Structures are given as C-alpha cells and as structure tokens.
Amino acid sequence: MAMSASSSDQALLSVRNLRIEFPTRHGTLVAVDDISFDILPGEILGVVGESGAGKSLTGAAIIGLLEPPGRIARGEIFLEGRRIDKLPYEQLRRIRGRQIGAIFQDPLTSLNPLYSINRQLVETIQTHLPLNDREARARALALLDEVGIPSAAERIDHYPHQFSGGMRQRVVIALALCAEPRLIIADEPTTALDVSIQAQIISLLKGLCHEHGTAVMLVTHDMGVIAEAADRVAVMYSGRIAEIGPVQEVIRTAKHPYTHGLMGSIPLIGHHVDKLTQIDGAMPRLQEIPAGCPFNPRCEQATDRCRVERPNLQTAQKSQVACHLFDETGRTGVEARAGE
Amino acid sequence: MFAFIIRRLLQSVLVMLTVALIAFALFRFVGDPINNLVGQDTTLQDRQKLRETLGLNDSVVVQYWRYVVNTAKGDFGYSYMHRRPVKTMLLERMPATLELSIISILLALFIGVPMGVYTSLRRDGFLAKIFMSISLIGISLPTFLIGIMLILLFGVILRWLPTFGRGEVVALGTWTTGLLTVSGLKALIMPAITLALFQMTLIMRLVRSEMLEVLRTDYIKFARARGLSNRAVNFGHALKNTLVPVITITGLQLGSVIAFAIITESVFQWPGMGRMFIEAVADVDIPVMAAYLCLIALFFVVINLIVDLLYYAVDPRLRVDGGGSGGHG
C-alpha cells in the first residue's frame, strides 16, 4: 500500500486492507475487497460510489454492526491508534455513540416511534455520560437548539411523528452528537430528504463538525454533496477504492476512467450540453466481478493487462488511483489519456 | 379520544343488541317455549293462559324489547331444567371460569412473551430451537388430549394432583375463590396449564415473529449505533414495538379462553360456566344457553374496548391527534 504506516499515527481512523465477505450457499461473496484509507481529526471524507459498491458496508464494519452473515474477513481498523475491529461486543458498544456517532439514511424510520425525542436523547446521553436526569435533559435541549429545532423547549417532549423529515434528520444528528464523538459516520444522510432540505442538512452537519472538531465519513452517491462538504473523497467501485484524493483535485482532474466518467455525467449550470456522457453498462454483481481491474469491461482504455492484473493504488499528484494507466509515476490522467 | 370512546361504546351497544336478538330468537324458534314449561297433560286453556301471562301473544318487537330490558337488568329468566333463576346459576359458576381463564392467560403471557423474546434474540440457539419444536406440539395437539395426558401422568400415575373438581373454595361475598386454599391451587394447576398451553405457544410465536420484524428496523439499528446497551435496545425499544399486536391477540384470546374453556372444564369436571352451557345444550335449557351467549358476547365487547384503549396507552401516534407535523425550518 502506498500509505505509510506513520500516517495511521496521526489519523483518527485508519482502515487497513479491509475485506468484507458474505458466505452464501453459492460460495463466498466479497463485498469489500482490500481497502485502506485514513480519516484525519476534523476531516470530512466523502465516500462515493454506486449502490453495492461497498460504501455503507465499510461504515457498518467500522462501528461493528455488519449484519450477519456479513463479516470482516481480513484487515484492521484503528481508532486513534487503538485496534477496534477485534474488540468484544461490549467494549465496541461503548465506542459506538461515545467516540463514533452514526447518522442513517432515512430519518423517518431512524427514530423509535413510541418514545419522545426527549426520552431518546436522554437515554443516549446517560448511556455515555455521567449526568443525572435534569442535566441530561438540559443537554438534550442544548443539542436540539444547536441542530436548529425551533422552540426546542416545547418540542422536546414531542414524538417523532410530529416532526417533518428534515426536522427528524436534525434530531438524528443531535442523537449522533450526544456524547461529542470524534468521528461521525453519516450513511446517505440526505438521500431520503427533499432537495431543498438536503443543502440545509449538509451545511448544518458541516458547520457542527467544524465547530466541534468532529471528523465525518460521509457516505453518499451524490457528487454534489461531496463537492459541497468533503475535504477529501474516496471513489469506490465494486468493493474497491478506485481513487482517493482532495476533493477539488478529484473533481477537476479525475484520474481513474471511472471517476472521469462519473464527473462527465454531472451537468454543469451554465454549460449547455445536448447529451450527458454516460458510462455504458452497469457495475458487476458481486458474484461476477471480473479478474484484473473490476472496471475493465466498461473501460474504454482497458488493455489486456487490465483484464488480468489487479491495479494497486498509485500516487498521482496529491491523489491515489488504482489504475494501470498510472503505473509510471508522474503521468497525469490527462497525459495518460492523450497517450492512448 | 373522547369521541372515539363514545363511538366505540355505541358500536358495542349495537353488537349487544344483535346478540340479544339471536338469543331471543333461540326462544322462539327452538320449539314452543310453552311445551318446555308445562307437562303433557296441561289443558289447552291453561296453555293459553300461561301464554298470555308470559306475554307470548304480544308482537315480536314488544317481546324482543322486553327481553332486552330484562337482560340488561340481569334477569335471564328461569332455567327450564333446574327451576332456578339463571342469574343465580351464572353467578355461582362464573368465578370458577374467570379464575381459570385469567390464571391461564397470565400464565400464557408471562411464559409466552419471554420465550418469544428469547427465541427471537437467539434465533439459531439450541434452546430456542427446542422451544420452537415444543411450541409446534402446543399449537397442534388438541386441548382435551393434553388435558387427558396430564391427568394420566400427574393424576393417575404420579398421584400428585387431583384429577377433577376445584378443590376447597373460600367464599368472598358472592365470589367463591379456589386461589386461597392449597387444594384449590393444586386443582387449578392442570386445567390452567391445559388451557394456557395453546395461548402460550401462540403468544410466543407471535412475539418471536414480531420481534424479528422489529429487530430489522432502522430505529433498532440506530439505537445500537448509538451504543445503547443490549437490554435497552431489546427490551426498551424492540419489545415495546411488538406490544400492539400482542395486546390485540392476547385480548382476543382471553375472550376465547373464557368462551372455550368448555372443553377444559369438561375434561377436568371444572364447575364453571362452560360445563353449565354443555349441560344446558344437552337439556335444551334455552334460558341458560341464551344467557351464556349474551354474557360471552359482553366479555368480548368489554375486552375489545379495553384493547382499543390500551393501543392509546402504547402508541403516541394514536394519542396525539393532529399535533401538527411541524414545518421544516
């Protein structure tokens, strides 16, 4: 791996060679295959990819909530230098919520319909912090204020069904922030929301994490959200990282042919195009991932080597990219493509 | 909420009137009531006179109304067979049936719910699989067979428990209870288990499948992701969300248990209402049958009303009407 061991010393979260498998009757499916990345303190790392690329599974694996039969087959996960992927359930439970918060996709189903917002907040606060009922309620109120619930003092005793989708996602964010975690894993936090509310939620999340110095792993398939919020972005394809680097660099000079196609498919305001570029074909299903580079059947620049040998992450500019076009160091994506 | 209760009460009254109509029809259409009251040698004039005094010559509507009013006052008439007020007979028998039924349903709840939770949490565990297998037996074996087998084992072979009757009872006013004497309690064990077994397995399987459903929901995953303890997640968050269907089924089953304690009461010679009903059927004792019908209907209506009110207690989405979905800020 191109990443040096020393980087994991300062990293808040280090994932090393993570492999997630699903044993089935028809053999083992590899959903996430040998991925490594770091998240620095206070950093927002966007993880982008199509459905089934393994982004959400990676998030679930980090907090130890992979649904059986899914399991971590190989690899290591470090939180502030401490290995957490082999911890017993009870110890990992204490990390969840306390050190790693989580935000889920659908705010309409993320809250227990039978308990008031207050009860759910207080329960979570008291699980992690030594506060009495009155202190916990005061903290819950402060959190609701912070996430922008208007007249929080009145609404704290309301039930989830009395809140709109956007408001519920704010409550979910408050729940994730209950114990001031160092890292939040946000799994498609805006996908289920109205477009007009998505931007509010993203800027709220970004602002809060900036204030609290909280790092975020922002899982999404929305490049707009990534461009808006992320510092760095990891592009996933078929359970592997295709490209990872600073968000502006990845967007402006996409290196991996897949990323390039992904960027080409986003319309730009002010640029008139008759037809958006598209990547032909679909991401292979887990049991049909081809040998070599998983993208090779859809890649216009694929060579015989791509069909046989799996590319490793190569450093290119400030990014790293898993593509044979970048094996010779120093070539940029543009040059590589021009050379074809 | 208040309007809802009023509406439900009116519906209940309608149900009771319908049941009363059926009970009333029993008198009219299962033979001539006069024949059931008098001997064969009664003269036609005497029959006519009796018909007049009993009001049987009035219009059907008037007779029905009179029946409804009397029934509402608790006057079910006289038993043809025993020549005693049906009301007195019911009051004598009711405590036995209610004690048996309520103990059974409590047994079913307090064993069935924990077993259901356990089997859902340890889905692939050895003990859970054993519970599931046993529950198949409980659900498929007929009640009378279980009762007879229990009598054979504990009554005849081991001689631990009495095979019939209610044991000694203590009178608390008009209510006779078997719960305060040792022999009464011992006599209760086998009938209660027999009656509870089916309900227990039903509740266990219901709780299990509901729990499995709820455990897959996002709010349970989110609760785990917040680091809540397993106990808080499984019992605080998951179990409470299974309660609505469990309450519904338990309520309906309590009604059935009271109504269909007949079989268990017959097997164990339990002096309850069910056995009284069976005897009444054999004797074509229509006042008793009609009264039993009305009483069971009343139990069902009351239980359903309580079940509906319990929904409100459990689920805030029903409790708060309107409340405003709250605009987004």
| Rounded-to-integer distance, Cα A82 and Cα A24, Å | 32
Task: Let me know if residue A340 belongs to a domain.
Answer: yes
Long-range pairs, A61-65, Cβ under 8 A, ≥24: A61/A18, A61/A20, A61/A32, A61/A85, A62/A13, A62/A15, A62/A100, A62/A185, A62/A217, A63/A92, A63/A95, A63/A96, A63/A100, A63/A102, A63/A185, A63/B225, A64/A89, A64/A92, A64/A96, A65/A96, A65/B221, A65/B224, A65/B225
B288-302: per-residue pLDDT in tens? Answer: 889 999 999 999 999
Nearest residue, CB atoms, A127 vs list B217, B227, B316 = B227
Task: Let me know if residue A144 belongs to a domain.
Answer: no
Contact flag A175-B315 (C-beta cutoff 8 Å):
no
Helix (H, G, I), strand (E, B) or coil at A282: coil
Contact residues on chain B for A110, CB-CB shorter than 8 A: 218-219, 222
Q: Residue B139 above 50 pLDDT?
A: yes
Task: Let me know if residue A80 belongs to a domain.
Answer: no
Q: Residue B325 above 60 pLDDT?
A: no
Confidence of residue A9 (pLDDT cuts 50, 70, 90): low
Range of the domain at A247: 233-269+281-340
Confidence of residue B321 (pLDDT cuts 50, 70, 90): low
Long-range pairs, B21-29, Cβ under 8 A, ≥24: B21/B64, B22/B293, B23/B67, B23/B71, B23/B289, B23/B290, B23/B291, B23/B293, B23/B294, B24/B63, B24/B64, B24/B67, B24/B68, B24/B290, B26/B286, B26/B289, B26/B290, B26/B293, B27/B67, B27/B286, B27/B287, B27/B290, B28/B60
Task: Let me know if residue A114 belongs to a domain.
Answer: no
pLDDT at A11: 87
| Rounded mean pLDDT, B34-44 | 75
Chain B: nearest CA to A310, how far in angstroms?
Answer: 35
Contact flag A127-B327 (C-beta cutoff 8 Å):
no
| Rounded mean pLDDT, B262-280 | 89
Nearest residue, CB atoms, B227 vs list A97, A113, A116 = A97
Confidence of residue A324 (pLDDT cuts 50, 70, 90): confident
Q: How many CB pairs under 8 A join A and B?
A: 102
Contact flag A104-B222 (C-beta cutoff 8 Å):
yes
B152-162: per-residue pLDDT in tens? Answer: 999 888 888 88
Q: Residue B323 above 70 pLDDT?
A: no
Complex ipTM, two decimals?
0.86
What mean pLDDT, rounded, does chain A reach?
86
Task: Let me know if residue A58 belongs to a domain.
Answer: no
Q: Which CATH number fits domain B86-319: 1.10.3720.10, 1.10.10.10, 3.30.70.1070, 3.90.180.10?
A: 1.10.3720.10
Contact flag B325-A111 (C-beta cutoff 8 Å):
no
Domain boundaries, chain B: 2-72, 86-319
- If one compares A6 and B39, the residue with the highest pLDDT of the two is B39
The distance in angstroms from the start CA to the end CA of chain B is: 30
Find out whether A277 and A261 touch, Cβ atoms under 8 Å: yes
pLDDT at A328: 59
Helix (H, G, I), strand (E, B) or coil at B272: coil
Chain B: nearest CA to A76, how far in angstroms?
Answer: 20
Contact flag B218-A104 (C-beta cutoff 8 Å):
yes
B274-289: per-residue pLDDT in tens? Answer: 889 988 888 888 888 8
| Rounded-to-integer distance, Cα B137 and Cα B317, Å | 38
Contact flag B228-A97 (C-beta cutoff 8 Å):
yes
| Rounded mean pLDDT, A64-73 | 89
Find out whether A155 and B329 touch, Cβ atoms under 8 Å: no
* Residue B322 in contact with partner chain A when CB distance is under 8 A: no
Angle ∠(B224,B228,B232) on CA atoms, nearest 5: 105
| Rounded mean pLDDT, B71-81 | 84
> How many domains, in total, are found in chain A?
1
Chain B: nearest CA to A230, how far in angstroms?
Answer: 23
Chain B: nearest CA to A171, how far in angstroms?
Answer: 12
Rg (CA), chain A: 21
pLDDT at A1: 41
Task: Let me know if residue A300 belongs to a domain.
Answer: yes
